[in-house]
Structure 1
Amino acid sequence: MPRIQLSSIYVDNQEKALAFYTDVLGFQLKQHVPVGAYAWITLVSADDPAGPELVLEPAAHKAVQPYRRALYRDRIPVTSFAVDSVDAEYERLRELGVRFMQKPTTTGPVTVAVLDDTCGNLVQIASPAASPDA
């Protein structure tokens, strides 16, 4: 059966994205290999260093900018990351100065929030919604 090995996110500036995704969001650097004007940069979850890798792709291809602008304009996250508690992560990230486009919102079985990654993307964080009995 196939499984996710790599997933890419296009970023305006790879080094700026690397700092945001590691220092703020908490991912760990796995690979950083210079490739001409850019680099092959992959990150992993601190909780799963052998798991799927997030590739910080340069947003240099001409098709990328219109796609990203449309998603951003329509407030559509380019990806979603699981967290243990959206409410707790929202507070932690707000204290670090992260700008949110959507505060924690419960939609059916999940709670989600949407943040600006400072590199041209909106990113969703999600966790199971608290049980009504809790």
Structure 2
Amino acid sequence: MKIHLSSVFVDDQEKALRFYTDVLGFVKKHDIPLGADRWLTVVSPEDPDGTELLLEPSGHPAVQPYKTALVQDGIPVTSFAVDDVQAEFDRMRELGVRFTQEPQEMGTVTTAVLDDTCGNLIQIVHSK
């Protein structure tokens, strides 16, 4: 068994697509209209047939309280692996990305947490 699809609830799918592709570096995999929303997924360019991330609309009534609580408590909704947290932090900071946690070493991992501009905190991590 392996993970095929994961999702992150976003306030605006088009804005999320720009952020997740232009800033984070993912590539669009599927963009299928579904009424007012879309089945919109991105993947890592390093693994185009790997796990897809669904940029899911935040329309369900339970989503906003969930997202708000996570952000208020500083909890990332998901985590993405990078080769060098400090280099990614520097690159994204130059692009204007807001971080809620600067790079921090925690034993065998280094992490940082960023705001995805769509209502979520995202952790980037590198394991030594």
> What is the Cα deviation at residue 128 of structure 1?
1.8
* Residue equivalent to 2:29: 30
Q: Aligned ranges for residues 76-115 of structure 1 at < 5 Å?
A: 76-115=75-114
* Residue equivalent to 1:58: 57
Secondary structure at the residue paired with 1:47? coil
Structure 1 distance, partners of 2:63, 2:107, is 32
Secondary structure at the residue paired with 1:77? coil
Q: Deviations over 1:33-77 (max 9, x none)?
A: 010010000000011001000000000000000000000000000
* Residue equivalent to 2:71: 72
Give the aligned CA root-mean-square deviation in angstroms.
0.5
Counterpart amino acid of residue 78 in structure 2: T
Counterpart amino acid of residue 88 in structure 1: A
Q: TM-score, normalised by structure 2?
A: 0.99
Counterpart amino acid of residue 26 in structure 1: G
Structure 1 distance, partners of 2:10, 2:127, is 28
Q: Which ranges in structure 2 are unaligned for 5 or more consecutive residues?
A: none
* Residue equivalent to 1:132: none
Counterpart amino acid of residue 43 in structure 1: V
When the two structures are aligned, how many residues end up with a matched partner?
Answer: 128
Counterpart amino acid of residue 102 in structure 2: K
Name the larger-Rg structure.
1
Q: TM-score, normalised by structure 1?
A: 0.94
